[in-house]
């Protein structure tokens, strides 16, 4: 269990001055940990994918199928940027959110980004039963899925590693509360 704090700026958001943006690959636990930490800290929890689905009255899979990935990425960027003046929030982003539309820079300027790092093998365990809900992986078999996860993480790490905090979540105890929530 390691909490790596890097790239801290003098504007490190204390409670009341911005949000915490959880980033990481799908299945890394952004919703799981985000809800848990919001409940224990009294912060509001926002799931960008859930907001997009509610606003569009479609599932993410339907948006991908009917309108394409580019359209979805623009929708999630719009939701993300609508949070500009919100304080005391924990936001679960989509796995690709920081990789498009300069969103990682925007998150770092408007709050604190936290990369929930997890191994491809652990992500595979979490995603195996959720494939139907995830349009980018719904068609893959288990061996293809592990390869996809590994390659996609390599591709996205250039964005994920721009996070202000990197937290390895693979072996966190269920009651873990990160130090950054108490600042």
Q: Which long-range CB contacts under 8 A does 50-53 form with residues at least 24 apart?
A: 51/79, 52/76, 52/79
State the sign of the Cα–Cα–Cα–Cα dihedral 159, 29, 172, 154: negative
Whether pLDDT at 37 is above 70: yes
pLDDT of 131 reads 67
Looking up tokens 């504007």 gives 11
Looking up tokens 């690959």 gives 25
Looking up tokens 């929708």 gives 75
pLDDT of 183 reads 59
- The pLDDT confidence band at residue 132, using thresholds 50, 70 and 90, is low
Q: Where are the beta strands (DSSP E) in the chain?
A: 3-5, 19-23, 44-47, 89-92, 111-117, 165-168
pLDDT of 17 reads 56
Whether pLDDT at 28 is above 60: yes
pLDDT of 180 reads 79
Q: How confident is the model over 144-168, as pLDDT tens digits?
A: 889 989 999 999 999 999 999 999 9
Report which of residues 2 and 27 the model is more confident about.
27
Q: Which residue from 179, 146, 180, 108 is spatially nearest to 27, judged by alpha carbons?
A: 146
The residues that bridge with 129 in the sheet, in sequence order, are none
Q: Residue 133 carries which DSSP code?
A: G
Q: How confident is the model over 39-97, as pLDDT tens digits?
A: 998 999 999 999 999 999 999 989 999 999 999 999 999 999 999 988 889 999 999 99
What does pLDDT average to over the chain?
A: 87
- Say what percent of the chain tops pLDDT 70: 89
Query: Quick one: which H or E segment has residue 42?
Result: none
The pLDDT of 103-114, averaged and rounded, is 94
Domains present along the chain, CATH in parentheses: 28-119+159-171 (3.40.50.300)
């Amino acid at each position: 269990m390691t909490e790596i704090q890097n790239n801290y700026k003098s504007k490190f958001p204390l409670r009341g001055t911005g949000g915490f943006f959880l980033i990481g690959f799908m299945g890394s636990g952004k919703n799981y940990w985000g809800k848990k930490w919001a409940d224990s800290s009294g912060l509001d929890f926002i799931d960008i994918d859930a907001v997009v689905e509610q606003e569009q009255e479609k599932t993410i899979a339907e948006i991908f199928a009917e309108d394409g990935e580019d359209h979805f990425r623009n929708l999630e960027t719009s939701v993300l940027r609508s949070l500009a003046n919100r304080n005391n929030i924990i936001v679960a982003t989509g796995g690709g959110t920081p990789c498009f539309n300069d969103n990682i820079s925007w998150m770092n300027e408007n709050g604190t980004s936290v990369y929930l790092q997890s191994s491809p093998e652990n992500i595979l365990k979490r995603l195996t039963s959720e494939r139907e809900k995830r349009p980018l992986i719904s068609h893959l078999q288990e061996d293809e899925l592990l390869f996809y996860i590994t390659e996609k993480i390599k591709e996205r790490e250039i964005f994920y590693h721009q996070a202000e905090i990197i937290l390895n979540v693979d072996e966190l105890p269920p009651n873990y509360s990160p130090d950054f929530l108490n600042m």
